[in-house]
Structure 1
Amino acid sequence: MSRFVDRVVLHISAGSGGHGCSSVHREKFKPLGGPDGGNGGRGGSVILRVDDGVHTLLDFHFRPHARGTNGRPGAGSNRDGARGEDLILPVPDGTMVIGKDGEVLADLVGVGTEFVAAQGGRGGLGNAALASRARKAPGFALLGEEGVEQDLTLELKSVADVGLVGFPSAGKSSLVSVLSAAKPKIGDYPFTTLVPNLGVVSSGETTFTIADVPGLIPGASEGKGLGLDFLRHLERCAVMAHVVDCATLEPGRDPISDVDALEAELAAYKPLLSGDWGLSDLATRPRVVILNKADVPEAAELAEFVTEEFESRGWPVFTISAVSRAGLKPLTYALAAMVEQYRIDNPPPEPSRPVIRPIPRDESAFSVEKDADEPGSFIVRGIRPERWVRQTQFSNDEAVGYLADRLARLGVEDELHKLGAKPGCGVTISDMSFEWEPQTPAGVDITMTGRGTDARMDQVERTTADERKHSSRVRRGLEGLETGDL
């Protein structure tokens, strides 16, 4: 038995970028061939794309994890690594993408609409791309960047022109079955309909879709019954049709009180799509009242009695019987006219040649702030510094020196000086913490030594070792004064 799933949590991971290659060209009679390490390939992204052949989120319910392909590492002879393949995930029309904090990231409407859910990591540069006047043959390469990992919530909101609103067992499913070719489940017990049913209706030259959604009860806007699972499928509907059971035997219920209760729930619900599609909240949509089950004599009398009340509110009223199919043609023509009028008032945007204007992004911006958890320590935040740290191979002294030069040119060391940073204080960038050594001459041309080494790192190690020896001698001297050995 097929299942309709309209809400899932998707765990996605984009592919990581390939590492750059550190290589030197070697050929007979060419001892100074120079660096020839290629760049790593970019990781594959995870992309959501609207597909007209998909109507539910069922696939993600059983397979909630998705991962893009990693980029390949670079190689010698200036060979760049292959890019990772993007992972395309087909989703149904009307899917909303919601972030971890509840923010709506995308509203996917229209076949072919795409959303990059997770961006693939950048590939690391090879030593051929890192060569410069100061570093003619770098003995290091940059690491590939990890792909984005995040959890997203996908919610499906039915895309229909007319939404049928009514209490359970009001005859909404029966009405869809006689107006269209849809065959929803029909039963004489509450909440027969647990999932939305869509049907296509043709009236003259107008074709529109009609949605039968689960029954509404008082308190649905607060989550009672099927609650929000019902109401969100009405957000995209242009016309609201109240389907009223005029033959109900439940005490305390009548067509007017039923419609008033439904109106109260529609007014209380605040859709996430407010303002989209030219629509505001549900309370302002065009209305039509359908008095159903007129094949029962008592129901026909009641429908005639309450018609004047609904017409006084400015709503068209139609008395029908889904069983005997009485009154269906006038209803169909009226719904088609209302949908056609809406389409005239809200025409789709004219297709035009897309003009791509990239939004400037200042990646050089960064901030340095004091660490509240560790007094005397600092935290550096910024797109470039964090990415540079993630791409540095800290087991390679030359790579660490290159990172220090980049941070100095960006102005990180100057900002640390302004905030009163002292030698040896802790500095955290991304997930890496280290002791700051301002005496290291960063950002200046240096004399290159062996590949993969940096003279400044040796200087820092010697200075640190001398400081340890000095502190040890001072400590022994103080202990001798206390014991009288000196």
Structure 2
Amino acid sequence: MFVDKAKIKIKAGNGGDGAISFHREKYVAAGGPDGGNGGKGGDVIFVADDNFSSLIDFRYKRKYVAENGQNGGAKRCTGKSAPDLIIKVPRGTIIRNADTGRIMADISTDEPQVLARGGNGGRGNCNFATSTRQIPRFAKPGYPGEEFDISLELKLIADVGLVGFPNVGKSTLISAVSAAKPKIANYHFTTLTPVLGVVKVNEEKSFVMADIPGLIEGASDGVGLGHEFLRHVERCRLIVHVLDVSGTEGRDPIEDFDIINAELQNFSEDLAKCPQIVAANKCDMADEEQINRLKNFIEEKGMKFFVISAATTHGTKELINAVAGELEKLPPVREYKPEPITQEEIEEKALSNTKFEIEKEGNIYFVDAKWLDPIMRTINMDDYSSLQYFQQVLRKSGIIDKLESMGINEGDTVNIMGFEFDYVR
């Protein structure tokens, strides 16, 4: 099954927590704090793999999570950083933020792309010792790894795209000029998925051609099969527009030409501007008057016109040489540049790090702030300096200000993730 769109969730690893530890050794007085830092969480990295031609694997597995970094240890030992999670996708895959539509990466080259960065490790208590706080009984938790809902969209990388109505001979043409072996039959929609073929011009020159399933009127609005695959023509440097000059299907090739170009225009302005060469196929079943009528129409539009018969390979060599010559004048295959992060994403990310909700029931204030959970794991509630640090976190995050605006009084109970204490001004 050919799958060219998928939606998944990726989550980089969290950093390991810093350690709370004190040096204990015979004959060594006042060993002091020696808790080490946590290790870094694993990144989520995407790489292109030419052994993959479809996104079907992502239909069955929708969540990818990298490992967390190890916690710090005693004797100032830093926790081990987690390995990166490598995700292989077909070359030409565009990755977008599923919530905003922002392009995050174009996996078209061999360069690995880091999509979600692992969190850094938290600092151990050895980092918080000062002349006035010599026994810090708290450490910092690891930072959370980035996570995103992303959409994957495969846009095949081809130099040339074959477009045209169903049954005009596109599959026959690509099989005649390359080693591709698409299904060929005398009925509409024989081609159900795009087919790539490498066309060899000479010993040192070749290019990639894509046979796109046949388009019909209304394709850009979702009619027929071809609309599903128009995205695969967007990267093409050149379009070969195949027309049935014989009219054996009962259609007018000039009308077909206008309909297909209108669909390309409706789908993408850039696609409509792509250079075109017209191949009038099935010339062995057409008379000279039909051919000349179409030739005059196409040449009036300033396009190159070739008369071919893909079934007998008549004229295909001249067509391929002309295509190769045009490609030498054109820029390389289009790459999609990552788009800068939007202000909306920046604000959402900032808010998610300190997002909280407070509900009041009687004289008890329930604080729901999941990001506080790792911090509370590293706090010693029986230690004064730890409590001071915890109070600073509550103040900086706005929780205390919110409690005061809700009218909290001294002696009221605050419940944070199950931990309760009396509020003191």
Place the TM-score, normalised by the shorter chain, in its bin.
0.7 to 0.9
Cα 1:191/1:135, change in 2 over 3 Å? farther
Task: Give yes or no for contact 1:124–1:141 (8 Å, CA) kept in 2.
Answer: yes
Cα 1:241/1:46, change in 2 over 3 Å? same
Provide the rounded CA distance (Å) in 1 between the counterparts of 2:408 and 2:358.
18
Which residue is 2:240 aligned to? 241
Report 1:286-297 matches (<5 A): 286-297=275-286
Provide the rounded CA distance (Å) in 1 between the counterparts of 2:377 and 2:39.
17
Which residue is 1:232 aligned to? 231
Provide the rounded CA distance (Å) in 1 between the counterparts of 2:243 and 2:20.
75
Which one of the candidate residues 386, 389, 392 is aligned to 1:405? 392
Provide the rounded CA distance (Å) in 2 between the counterparts of 1:372 and 1:411.
13
Provide the rounded CA distance (Å) in 2 between the counterparts of 1:66 and 1:188.
44
Task: Give yes or no for contact 1:17–1:72 (8 Å, CA) kept in 2.
Answer: yes
Which residue is 2:172 aligned to? 174
| Larger RCO, structures 1/2 (Cα 8 Å, 6+ apart) | 2
Q: Does 1:207 align with 2:206?
A: yes
Which residue is 2:186 aligned to? 188
Provide the rounded CA distance (Å) in 2 between the counterparts of 1:340 and 1:256.
29
Report 1:98-109 matches (<5 A): 98-109=96-107
Q: Cα offset for 1:407?
A: 6.0
Which residue is 1:51 aligned to? 49
Post-superposition Cα deviations, 1:299-343, rounded to whole Å, max 9, x if no partner, equal: x65223211011111111111001111011110111011111114
Task: Give yes or no for contact 1:94–1:107 (8 Å, CA) kept in 2.
Answer: no
SS of match in other structure, 1:139 = coil
Match for 1:282: what amino acid?
L
Q: Does 1:421 align with 2:405?
A: yes
Provide the rounded CA distance (Å) in 2 between the counterparts of 1:347 and 1:211.
13
Provide the rounded CA distance (Å) in 1 between the counterparts of 2:406 and 2:372.
23
Provide the rounded CA distance (Å) in 1 between the counterparts of 2:356 and 2:375.
24
Provide the rounded CA distance (Å) in 2 between the counterparts of 1:130 and 1:368.
23
Q: Which moved more, 1:149-158 or 1:111-120?
A: 111-120
Provide the rounded CA distance (Å) in 1 between the counterparts of 2:207 and 2:114.
31
Structure of greater Rg: 1
Cα 1:404/1:373, change in 2 over 3 Å? closer
Post-superposition Cα deviations, 1:339-394, rounded to whole Å, max 9, x if no partner, equal: 11114xx6999xxxxxxxxxxx99xx9999998999xxxxx9xxxx9977753438
Provide the rounded CA distance (Å) in 2 between the counterparts of 1:220 and 1:133.
74
TM-score normalised over the length of structure 2: 0.82
Report 1:112-131 matches (<5 A): 112-131=110-129
Long gaps (5+) in structure 1: 271-279, 350-360, 375-379, 426-431, 436-456, 465-486
* Aligned positions, number: 402
Q: Cα offset for 1:241?
A: 1.3
Which residue is 1:36 aligned to? 34
Long gaps (5+) in structure 2: 336-345, 361-366
Post-superposition Cα deviations, 1:406-458, rounded to whole Å, max 9, x if no partner, equal: 565x69599x49x9836528xxxxxx9869xxxxxxxxxxxxxxxxxxxxx99
Match for 1:340: what amino acid?
E
Provide the rounded CA distance (Å) in 2 between the counterparts of 1:119 and 1:322.
51
Task: Give yes or no for contact 1:19–1:74 (8 Å, CA) kept in 2.
Answer: yes
Q: Cα offset for 1:284?
A: 0.9
Which residue is 1:396 aligned to? 380
SS of match in other structure, 1:281 = helix
TM-score normalised over the length of structure 1: 0.72
Q: What's the Cα RMSD here?
A: 3.9
Match for 1:404: what amino acid?
Q
Task: Give yes or no for contact 1:96–1:104 (8 Å, CA) kept in 2.
Answer: no
Which one of the candidate residues 285, 294, 297 is aligned to 2:274? 285
